[in-house]
Amino acid sequence: MGFDTAYEAINEGEDPGHRWAYGTGFTDPLAGVDTTLPSGVDGADLAAYCLMLGDDALIMSHRLQQWLARAPELEEETALANIALDLLGQARLLLSRAGAADGSGRTEDDFAFGRSEREFRSVRLAEVTDADFAGLIARLVAFSTWRLALLDRLRSSRDPVLAAVAAQGVRELTYHRDYAAQWLVRLGDGTDYSRERMVAGLAAAAPLVPELFEPVEVELRLAGAGVAVDPSTVRAEFDGVLATVLDGAGLQWPDVPGLAPVSGQAGRDGVHTEAMGYLLAELQSIARSMPGAVW
Amino acid sequence: MSASAVLSSVELAWRVAADTPDPELPMVTVADLGILRDVTMDGPRVTAWLTPTYSGCPALREIRADVAGRLAAAGFADVEVRTVLSPPWSSDWITAEGRRKLLAAGIAPPSGSAPRRAAGPVPLTLTAAPGRAISCPQCGSGDTERTAAFSATACKDLYRCRSCAEPFEHVKEI
């Protein structure tokens, strides 16, 4: 069976409507996957952990999507769209895993569109806006380097679903990190102007980096059970990669203090920056104004 | 009809499911791409097992519906389509036939097998040029360069031929 164009294939048959990938009503990405909890793993803890990793991907993906039609070149537009799509795919699997693990049966849409800001568990680095392309690149280098190190270790998680999502994600994040790192070198080692912008981008992202390595209780409990990764253990790998990239760019990691938690709470506790409310207002606007709508 | 032409139900189900074109690369089938992992039968129930190429592959929903629809149209009344996440899809699973069809459509197939990773952290690549030579699907020249690491679908990147000056897509080795 072959077709000359994708449109012929899409419109083949009597009911081609299901072939158009838009709207709602997407199939559960874990359809047919065994989501039984491994012995000794607490379902509520696993769900909380999957929401952390899933929310990181969902929120970062949304920020990347906001770059579409604003990127400096068509190739960068395509790259950012691909990275956003990979992260959205990871988010869908992880949010679905959370709903299966906690026994609530909540779907990816319930989690993405039905929670309030305080219920999102993403790190604050994922949600902040970018002043310019260099700002995005600084944030993407930090985010993808950190997430790649985490997922690489999660390939051996005792939860087989989490391990499978991680194994797939590692190959995607390898591309994301290379892309962002190559741009960091190009901008840092480019003109005086591009260097100035890259330095400013790093200075904006750096205060949000210490939070990435602060474990919360659930992570430590699950790390002890062989399910999760204590994020403090990936700091050395992160620093090593950043040192290589910065060396190529002829830049230094900025010596700035971390953004302080609020009353000891940060993204993992549901305490976000001002940017998060605006982001969710956009992400959830259709679902909130027309609950249950399909199109 | 000779005995060898008689297909068992599970063989027929495999052939029907395997013939499903990929919605984004309609010149190849799900079997050519290695997305269709297995077709099994348990009594009257047919189960088709699919592996997505990338986490966010938006075509998977359409592929699921197409495979189920084709099996139903072929007379299988009890059909389910299940996702297999592990092991993750690899471009090594694209068949020789699939590679031939991609090339004929002007898309460079994966060059050799997916990279094998050594122990330790995932290596960082700071040079834009990838390590393997990709031949131009139009003129066959090996004098090509990668112009972008991402393309119109998650599984491909973009190249340009320095000999015939044609741009082309290439299926990444993963």
- B132 contacts B108 by C-beta, under 8 angstroms: no
Closest CA to A123 of A147, A93, A141: A147
A112 within domain boundaries? yes
- Among A residues 74-113, those touching chain B with beta carbons less than 8 Å apart: 75, 78-79, 81-83, 85-90, 92-93
Q: Would B2 be classed as within a structural domain? A: no
A74-101 vs A133-154: helix axis angle to the nearest 10? 40
- CA–CA min distance A255, chain B (Å): 24
Range A230-258 average pLDDT: 97
- Chain A positions in Cβ-Cβ contact with residue B85 (cut-off 8 Å): 30, 33, 93, 161, 164-165, 168
Tell me if A9 is assigned to some domain: no
Whether residue A168 and residue B21 make contact (CB cut-off 8 A), yes or no, is no
Please give the average per-residue pLDDT across A86-110, as a whole number: 95
Quote the domain boundaries for residue A275: 42-255+270-289
- DSSP code per residue over B131-170: SS----TTT--S-EEEEES--SSTTEEEEEETTT--EEEE
Q: What is the least distance, in Å, from the CA of B80 to any CA of chain A?
A: 9
Verify whether the Cβ–Cβ distance A19 to B65 is below 8 Å: yes
Other Cβ atoms closer than 10 A to A30: 23
Asked if residue B123 belongs to a domain, the reply is: no
The DSSP bridge partners found for residue B107 are B169
A residues 180-219 near B, CB within 8 Å? 181-182, 185
* Tally of domains in chain A: 1
Contact B101 A178 (CB under 8 A): no
Q: How confident is the model at residue B133 (pLDDT cuts 50, 70, 90)?
A: confident
Interface contact B26-A171, CB threshold 8 A? no
Sign of the Cα torsion A65, A66, A69, A74 reads negative
Tell me what pLDDT residue A26 has.
Answer: 56
The answer to whether residue A116 sits within a structural domain is: yes
Whether residue A1 lies inside any domain: the answer is no
- The secondary structure element, H or E, covering residue A94 is helix A74-101
Tens-digit pLDDT profile for residues B33-75: 999 999 999 999 999 999 999 888 878 888 999 999 999 999 9
Q: What is the CATH number of the domain that holds A163?
A: 1.20.1260.10
Asked, for residue A25, whether it belongs to a domain, the answer is: no
Indicate the SS3 state at residue B90: coil
Nearest neighbour of A18 by CB, restricted to B58, B65, B126: B65
Q: Is A177 on the interface with B (CB under 8 A)?
A: yes
Q: Which residue of B has its CA nearest to A245?
A: B126
Q: What is the pTM of this model?
A: 0.92
- Measured between beta carbons, the chain B residues lying within 8 angstroms of A79 are 148-150
Domain-embedded: residue B3: no
Helix (H) or strand (E) holding A76: helix A74-101
Residue B87: asked if its preceding bond is cis (omega within 30°), the reply is yes
Whole-complex ipTM: 0.91
Q: Decide if B21 is inside a domain.
A: yes
Range of the domain at B15: 8-83
In a domain, B146, yes or no: yes
What's the total number of domains in chain B?
Answer: 2
Do the domain assignments include residue A148?
Answer: yes
d(C-alpha A217, C-alpha B125), whole Å:
35
Measure the CA–CA gap between A76 and A82, rounded to whole angstroms. Answer: 10
